Structure 1
């Protein structure tokens, strides 16, 4: 839920896969506290599943390529994991998606380029029509 402190509240809902950390009571309580609707994906929502699966693949690839060896101690391991997840966040927000009509997820959600501080206009209606 750290992203709620860094970025604006999602306008509609929080979309997530059906992993235990997202359907658990603590996560659902946080969403309710912030007034955010729950939007779990299903096998019928191929686009949302593709984005979630790509996110998991990105995290796995970054962790696998950076950390082949065991960290010397717990504190170092925690810091390294934090750096790796920050790199994953950046990679995912800046990756162009054909499902989002060649926009990045960050541009679509925040209407701002993730590398340069410039506004981006995303045509959500034509994106929706393309999916139909």
Structure 2
């Protein structure tokens, strides 16, 4: 699958920088949009839908964030998913290897494509973008 619009939802600015570096060093041509919490990202999706623009093809989602965390984002996403005319691939990218988080991810099987642990690596990015 070809990803063009990518939402990176994480409150860590260093992680934003790292993702930009990984994308460019692996020659991945995408337009990343960065959000610091789940609420900003949900609003970003709704905004694109309201304007008749394409929602993101891919979301890289952290779990632990202020305002709206990754789980709350997924709950909100479930509510608007029916209005989105395409499949959005959502990858959890978390520093949590906690079994509770991994089990909770199973509750969102229909929404979550995969679960990766931080730090992100070139291999992980390549597997997400199927290079």
Q: Scaled by the length of structure 2, what TM-score is found?
A: 0.32
Higher helix share: 1
Q: Scaled by the length of structure 1, what TM-score is found?
A: 0.32
